[in-house]
């Protein structure tokens, strides 16, 4: 897979669930979805690219390196993203 030359900011978060067993997802805060500034692009193993509300993302917890390692590898090695990991909100 060819690596992207453009750097893309990403935040790795855990889906909000009552029992804290949510899935990890990547939030791309600079990739506005469908021209709606409060909705950005996200990515998960299942479902892959989709939309995410910034309000929802702010309610989610930061994923640990151990939790997001596989997703990071999928994004960089399989898709070709050149990622800059950002801290949560």
Distance CA 12, CA 85 (A): 8
Structure confidence by residue, pLDDT tens digits, 18-27: 776 789 999 9
Q: What is the pLDDT of residue 89?
A: 55
Q: Is 65 helix (H, G, I), strand (E, B) or coil?
A: helix
Would you list the domain boundaries of the chain? Answer: 7-85
pTM attached to this predicted model: 0.88
> What is the per-residue pLDDT across 44-65, written as a single tens digit (0 to 9) for each?
998 899 999 999 999 999 999 9
């Amino acid at each position: 897979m060819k690596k992207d030359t453009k750097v893309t900011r990403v935040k790795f978060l855990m889906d909000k669930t009552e029992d804290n067993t949510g899935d990890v997802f990547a939030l791309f805060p600079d990739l506005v979805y469908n021209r709606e500034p409060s909705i950005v692009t996200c990515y998960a193993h299942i479902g892959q690219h989709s939309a995410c509300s910034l309000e929802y993302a702010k309610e989610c917890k930061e994923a640990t390196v151990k939790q997001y390692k596989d997703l990071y590898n999928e994004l960089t090695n399989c898709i070709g993203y050149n990622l800059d990991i950002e801290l949560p909100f």
